[in-house]
Amino acid sequence: MEGYYLKSVDLASFEVEEDINREGDFKSFEFKGSASEYFRIWIVNIALSILTLGIYSAWAKVRANRYLYANTYLNGSNFEYNADPVRILIGRVVVVSMYAMFVIFSQYLFLFEVAGVIALIAFLVMPWLLRQAVCFKLRNTSYRNIPFRYEGKVSDFYLFF
């Protein structure tokens, strides 16, 4: 689904929404959830994650984020979290697989050169992975049916990393 993105705003013709007054005062964030509701979600998520050896944790993350976002309001409208837990699970499998290969080659097969190459690849790919994580989180967050997005460059993450 393609979202609507605001690239630039002509401030001369910009109309202020009714729930924001002309002095710049705006309504603050409001959380309408409760600790007891979240605790029920959290405890079920923990139990199912343990029973499935962590596989359910991707669904648990989506379930918890959906609750938190649905109960977080700004100017009377709540946020939405629309992530697909299967994509989260695939990302986690890739990261765990790279770590497992590093451990196997370095600790059990004593092939330190191969382990070093894996570590180097992981180090070189890490900024790109971090950017992808930020993009994924924002792409799956929406407010008033308008999804967020991140337009930063990968090179910015390499400079920061």
3-class SS letters over 16-82: CCCCCCCCCCCCCEEECCCHHHHHHHHHHHHHHHHHCCCCCHHHHHHHHHHHHHHCEEECCEEEEEC
Position of tokens 């202020």? 16
Model pLDDT, residue 161: 76
* Alpha-carbon gap, residue 117 to 143, rounded angstroms: 42
Residues 47 and 110 in one domain: no
Maximum Cα–Cα distance across the chain:
68
The answer to whether residue 16 is domain-embedded is: no
Average pLDDT estimate for 1-20? 45
Say yes or no: 102 and 145 in one domain: yes
The pLDDT confidence band at residue 5, using thresholds 50, 70 and 90, is very low
* Structure token digits, residue 107: 């600790």
pTM, two decimals, is 0.74
Which band of pLDDT confidence, cut at 50, 70 and 90, is reported for residue 22?
A: low
Give all strands (DSSP E) within 41-155, no chain letters. Answer: 72-74, 77-81, 141-143, 146-147
Q: Kindly state whether residues 60 and 75 are assigned to the same domain.
A: yes
Please say if the pLDDT value at position 93 is more than 90: yes
Section 138-145 average pLDDT? 96
Q: What is the total count of domains within the chain? A: 2
Same domain, 61 and 88: no
Two tokens, residue 3 = 């979202």
In a domain, 3, yes or no: no
Q: What is the pLDDT at residue 79?
A: 97
Same domain, 72 and 103: no
Of the pLDDT bands very low, low, confident and very high (cuts 50, 70, 90), residue 23 is: low
Domain carrying residue 60: 30-81
pLDDT of residue 101 exceeding 80: yes
Last residue of a domain, one of 81, 116, 144: 81
